[in-house]
Amino acid sequence: MSIVASTKGFPFDTQMENLFTNDTVDFASFGAVHLNNTKLEKSISFWTTIAGLKLRNTTENTAELGTEDKTLIVVHQKANKPFMNGYSGLYHVAIHAPNKKEFSRMVQRLINNNYQFSPTDHTMSKSVYLADPDGITIEFTLETPERYKRILTENGLWVEDTNGKLHSPSDVLDLDLVLSELDNKNVEGIVHQDTKIGHFHFYVSNLETTNEFYKQLGFSQFNHIPQFNYADVGMESNFKHRIAMNTWHGKNKPTASKENAGLYYFNLVFQSKEKLESVITKFPNAKKENDSFWLNDPTGNLICLKSV
């Protein structure tokens, strides 16, 4: 069976080998992600023991966790029920390792703790998926855009790598190769200081309006494949999968009750005040608080926009 590249629903031509030749800095980065959970103690145990984050600060109902010098996750004990599937909202939040060895440490830590996970190779990235104690999906990721050439949408959905080989968008990850980066299985200690929040994937109520919203925020189109109910957007750097969205759960689905665990809000931090000011003029309904702006995307996900 021959597979032919299609540009239908996809913005790029066949010169995809030139797409990842630069490594510029994104106009923004993701700050701390705030999650609503049911039990603070269980969440702290998950993020420290299973994810390897440092407990940076706690109050009666919150916990800040991250690297030695920055907060990545803030847990709020505000939910009364676990995460509910089948609704619009967060699909998963991804924590990105800075290099192969640190990604290997993430995976080995899961194995050492006998924690269930799903290893997946997206070609653009290597990933493992797991669930927190309330059922919120978390992804640990290693960015590998240098392996990616293009998407093919004829006769199904395929990813072509830079060697011309075709892959499923979600191949099985070669764990032996991943773990070969480690000298031993002792992975005690917190994650590397360059570990970061790298991308989000949302179940959205409307693919087109949400896609346009994030482009208005300054993101650029990467994949737009409505026939597969999927789109994602990126910024300037080589890894273009920064905000992904789909309607795989069904179109026009509402968000879950605020009683359920899930995303509270996330921070989008612009690298310049000028860039933030140029973007926020497109959103007259944004609420300003001090130097930050608050708004919801069309699905209802709450975003705090600020600058460094």
Residue in this structure with the two tokens 């109050």, named with its chain if needed: 59
Model pLDDT, residue 11: 36
DSSP sequence for 107-171: HHHHHHTT---EEEE-SSEEEEEEE-TTS-EEEEEEE-GGGEEEEE-TTS-EEEETTS-EE-TTE
Q: How far is CA 6 from CA 1, 138, 158, 241, 250, in A?
A: 15, 32, 11, 20, 25
Model pLDDT, residue 24: 82
Radius of gyration of the chain (CA): 19
| Residue 210 φ/ψ, nearest 5 degrees | -70, -40
pTM: 0.92
Model pLDDT, residue 131: 98
For residue 100, the one-letter residue type is K
Model pLDDT, residue 16: 39
| Residues in the chain, pLDDT under 50 | 1-21
Find out whether 33 and 197 touch, Cβ atoms under 8 Å: yes
How much is the mean pLDDT over the chain? 93
For 48, the 3-state DSSP assignment is helix
Sign of the Cα torsion 252, 254, 255, 256 reads negative
Nearest to 298 by CA among 213, 202, 201, 221: 213
